[in-house]
Amino acid sequence: MSEYQLHINGQPRTVDVAPETPLLWVLRDSLDLVGTKFGCGMAQCGACSVHVDGEAVRSCVLPVSLVGDKKVVTIEGLATEGKLTPLQQAWCVLDVAQCGYCQAGQIMCASILLREKPKPTDADIDLAMSGNLCRCATYHRIRAGIHRAAELAAEGGAR
């Protein structure tokens, strides 16, 4: 076991875990941030996606020892001061989720897409989201949710 000082959702957090422990399990088991989900454990499904220094990262394959002082944001840290992001608002309005299991990862990846392409086309969305699997096949609603979020963001919300 080793002690690691992490920066999670704007807060310093200290954990004592084995160096090879995936960030996913540090988040879920050590920090009780269970919004980030375990799907495949092999970087194949996107359910475990979080932001690390502003990029979408699959936390199931990132050892905690490699996180260092990078800023980690999970689905719990996406809203600011209790205000949902346009993506989260759009997800609620359009009832995007079915079982919901994949949806935190979907939103974390979609938020990177919207940062890079504030008005994405269907093709942009399909390409950017192609690595995020949904066993409930909510892909059409995910696409609609991203378009709605882009509209909401253009009206003044943060992404």
Strand partners, 27: none
| Residue 100 touching ligand FES (CB under 6 A) | yes
DSSP string, 23-35: HHHIIIIIS--TT
Task: Say whether 103 sits in a helix, a strand or coil.
Answer: helix
| Residue 130 touching ligand FES (CB under 6 A) | no
Tell me the CB-side half-sphere exposure of residue 126, using CA atoms within 13 A: 4
| Residue 33 touching ligand FES (CB under 6 A) | no
Show Cβ contacts of residue 134 under 8 Å, excluding neighbours closer than 6 positions. 98, 102, 103, 106, 142
Distance CA 81, CA 96 (A): 23
| Residue 40 touching ligand FES (CB under 6 A) | yes
| Residue 129 touching ligand FES (CB under 6 A) | no
The residue among 98 and 157 lying less far from ligand FES, judged by its C-beta, is 98
| Residue 46 touching ligand FES (CB under 6 A) | yes
Distance CA 104, CA 107 (A): 5
| Residue 94 touching ligand FES (CB under 6 A) | no
| Residue 120 touching ligand FES (CB under 6 A) | no
The residue among 101 and 147 lying less far from ligand FES, judged by its C-beta, is 101
- Positions touching ligand FES (CB under 6 A) are 38-41, 43-48, 58, 60, 97-103, 134-136, 138
